[in-house]
Amino acid sequence: MGLTRVRRNFEFNIPGAKVGRVEVLWQGQWGTVCDQGFTKDDTKVVCRSLGLRNGWMVPFYSINREIVTGPVWLEKPSCQGDETWLGECPGASWGTSSCHHTRIVSIFCYDQGVKVRLAGGEQPETGRVEVRLGGQWGTICDDFFDHLDAQVSLRSQEEAY
């Protein structure tokens, strides 16, 4: 089994959460993973390899603004979701990525789940989107929030991450 780590390079105040850039060890060198084609099943595999059950992939663009050097080891691992680490996934092709360092994947893993609700609306399907993490409800920023984000938020009210 290979090694996976999440490199946190910013403050994130949710105890027990693993948040940051995904890195894998291959041929004695740490490298990153491309976000192109990275799926929820790929995220589950990474979170499981870190000792957590649940994963929620979130593209934190601010994480990737730093200068990242070294290889981008994987692109589109195509995991089924039951592998123990990314190297077991059927699409894992080491060292062949043409991905640029601005497209590396960052993830959010949290064992206690993530809950989503609409609050403060006049009807059940209206209101502001709130997320429960670390035992507290909070709002999310609406910058660049669009119809697709709204659809995901509504579906997330029924799903457990």
- In the prediction, which pLDDT does 158 show? 56
**Residue 112: CA atoms inside 13 Å, Cβ hemisphere, count?**
11
Q: What gap in Å lies between CA 86 and CA 58, rounded to an integer?
A: 18
pTM of structure: 0.71
**What mean pLDDT is predicted for residues 138-156?**
74
Q: What's the pLDDT tens digit per position in 52-107?
A: 876 665 655 544 556 677 899 998 899 998 999 999 999 988 887 788 877 888 88
Q: What percent of the chain has pLDDT over 70?
A: 81
Q: What's the pLDDT tens digit per position in 39-56?
A: 888 988 998 898 887 666
Residue 32 contacts residue 73 (beta carbons within 8 Å): yes
Q: Which two tokens stand for residue 99?
A: 């991905």
